[in-house]
Chains A and B, each alone.
Chain A
């Protein structure tokens, strides 16, 4: 049962590695947006430090959102997605595999590059560790929820802008908890509650969103 899923995962990763600029653009966007904030609000280190959790999280969230359109659109255009409907494996699992591949390509690099940006914004090492943990738990949620929006806008004109309107309100809880975790450590409290809730949210999203995404894919390919 897992062999087709592994094949799909390998295929998606291979495709991404053959065209690395796609994944790099997302990371580049993340870095540039974070770099623009000090230009907008001034270079005061203490002030930047207090804004850092929110800035990093909002930038990560926008970067993931921008990459969502590519999650299904290539497969939709060349007809691969339609073939996936015919595969005996449940569509929910196939979709989950594609989301996992998408996260490996876009979400994980954001987590890995985030310490560099956090240092620029004067976060301390222990806070950076929490930031990475929060992003590690949070970016999969962003990919999972975002996949629903990506599926619902398949083949629509102006789908990219529409995804933003559909998905960004749903990103509020991970944003609050993720940025809140770093904030808690900065104010000397424990981030455990935030991280636990974030983990719970990831498990729930892992369980529930692939079904919704699969239903959306079926509807849009109907």
Chain B
């Protein structure tokens, strides 16, 4: 595949409450930041991820275009998914060879509604949603299917987050990702733009897969789609120094570590992970950003990022990043 690298990453200082900023105001500073970091004012392709249900209105991505400053008109698309999947779409678009840069961003304000109940609407509307299981309930189903030291995972994540200036300042460890408002942006470069830059995190592999929707159709103690995505992305081809995993519930880390084949030598969620800040729709993109940041600052030679969507880790994306193309 054509070499593509992360050239810039920015995220908001996440909050556990509504600060009065609209979504466009939330992303404006971080888009300005990745423009400065990358030295690029315009991008060949732009792709974002957001969810209308967080704001309770259609087209939440429309006003975000104001923050991008899409004038003259830009080549742009949007996924109603975590922005990690928007990054995947941008990576695919850069494979065509005619464009050399892409802006990717995601944002979400979970503070505006009841996230746990909103997530119920993600279930099969005929057979599952009427049962009224909220997000915590179906995560609990999966949690009871796996043996996991959730207290240890929660404590380690909380301790790691103490040095993450963007994470929430939680008074104590939590096993459930906190309600968070926030956003993130990444710039991808390819072609000639790679040669002009030295501090890059190359995407060596990236893939995603989905599992059947119904929890009863899956072995909830495992994640077949995460394992398949990890294989396709080439996680096992070398040592993994750092892994940033989209762990919204502590037990999911145990499932993902196994699915991705990560060993004791891998530092899991050194940023604190989603248990320290979970701006829904940007959380997965932040995993890629955090993994890239560690490659770029030299603390990791090879890093893995993971993003998820759907109930009980139904859909999983895995990316491998390193300094080498």
A and B interact: no
Using a CB–CB distance below 8 Å, which chain A residues touch chain B? Answer: none
